[in-house]
Structure 1
């Protein structure tokens, strides 16, 4: 496996010359590299002309993740809303897909019809979580790993309190105890996207057009994939359609236990690293939002 030496127009052009020579000469727009100092995260996507996206890596750990994504996408037939792979290579590691115009779910979530949007997401997740999908991918890539390890509830209890209001600290401890209890029993694992937040979805005219970023595809329970949904109404619509399509009941408690862990992990590492939270609010405000979501879903941790 070979990866490019740096994230530059020159290096990407040379990789394209090997992997997709027909695209050489198109203008290249490179990404903002802020926060890419850790070798694990030295990968990103660049626009190639108006019609293509090239995903590149310039370190060994990032290249392994991208190579995993290439293998997964090659095997994921029959799943809707997948990127169209134009070219994929591990010598050098490079993935080129066709660009689909649209916006992030975060940008449009307040304007979409939740029932239609939930139906689209459920179609994607139902096909992705099908046991045959995992079997097909594992035949091509080997056994799927578990998802990335997030901060433990012990780390959250110990580290997050200094950035919360005094009245929130006991609440967080109670919530963490609840999440540990809910997730103590393991469920059968499926193939999961594992990073299905709004910026990894492309929406246009109120409908889902594309899901991107499959480098973290893992083996976990289906509820794990619903932990990053930004809107309670959209979550409940997706769960309703998923259960109708799959005949499998989903546990809202388990979804919200995973959501709690993911949210507090994000708040903890970003605040400790001095990185602003994605919406530029505070950890205390995020905890208030969690309480609101729990109440709206009638979940009582």
Structure 2
């Protein structure tokens, strides 16, 4: 049975650690992203423990279930995909829901993407394309499902009907008027039934793949809370914005070389449109800043530039 912390506090986390990992309970705890009044689904946070470990914890059932899911997926992947760059698990508990991993020296892709020049583009693309291609092998999905139990599909971004309506709060000025045309295109490219299904990470953005800052090699893929079955194109939907269109194209080429299977670039971009606009929509309505502190309108402009470069007007 899954359980969770009684309060979103360092004291409650230390008590839980004393229960499941007494050897770790005495170290210094530095919480990150601790939002005590978060909605139940997001009532989770991480903390650095003793300067050596990262611990993920929850104080509500929905968030605890997500941690349990990650614990089970990581355990299954360790056996079925030993080649995969996974965080080193130190303690994994379902009651209470805790995941302790070793703190890696690697940094998020967001922190190194500016270092990827023409000389290193092929190497970075190969690392990204290869890890996704191998993860999406149907045999991996079958093995993980057998070990971890039935897997639910990841929660998809908002449908285009909601995106066309725009935010209830003040919209990012007239830029939102272009969204309807983008949504029409997205509906067309995502309308046909998806092709093959594989195990997708589900949230493969630049904060969840970690890199060696000197060699620019992929070191770890983290945060498997949303892993589940879906079409491979869904897992590449963040790359156009995170990598830029040139590197994104190189990643798709590398993926196809490794897997021997073609990707539908239109479908990837359709998922990209829904993902970016969904992020803008909820942040505008909730009054939450965009992750890079730019405006929602600037995000819409950037999306429009990527779509124009891809041949989509509006």
Instruction: Specify the TM-score bucket, using the shorter chain as the normaliser.
Output: over 0.9
Q: 1 CA distance for matches of 2:151 and 2:33?
A: 30
1:244 is aligned to 2:244: no
1:89 is aligned to 2:93: yes
Contact 2:166 2:176 in 1 (8 A): no
Q: 1 CA distance for matches of 2:248 and 2:26?
A: 43
1:129 is aligned to 2:136: yes
Contact 2:4 2:97 in 1 (8 A): yes
1:234 is aligned to 2:247: yes
Aligned position for 1:261: 274
Contact 1:72 1:214 in 2 (8 A): yes
RMSD: 1.8
Aligned position for 1:181: 188
Of 126-135 and 60-69, deviating more is 126-135
TM-score, normalised relative to structure 1: 0.94
Residue 202 of structure 2 aligns to a residue whose secondary structure is coil
Q: 2 CA distance for matches of 1:183 and 1:55?
A: 35
Aligned position for 1:142: 149
Aligned position for 2:102: 98
Q: 1 CA distance for matches of 2:308 and 2:17?
A: 51
Aligned position for 1:196: 204
1:9 is aligned to 2:10: yes
TM-score, normalised relative to structure 2: 0.90
Alignment of 1:205-216 (within 5 A): 205=214, 206-216=216-226
> How far 1:300 moved relative to its partner?
5.5
> How far 1:24 moved relative to its partner?
2.4
Of 30-39 and 250-259, deviating more is 30-39
Aligned position for 2:22: 21
> How far 1:194 moved relative to its partner?
0.8
Alpha carbons of structure 1 residues 139 and 93: separation in structure 2 relative to 1, 3 Å? same
Of 57-66 and 186-195, deviating more is 186-195
Aligned position for 2:178: 171
Contact 1:80 1:123 in 2 (8 A): no
Contact 1:54 1:97 in 2 (8 A): yes
Q: 1 CA distance for matches of 2:176 and 2:4?
A: 45
> How far 1:50 moved relative to its partner?
2.2
5+ long unaligned stretches in structure 2 = none
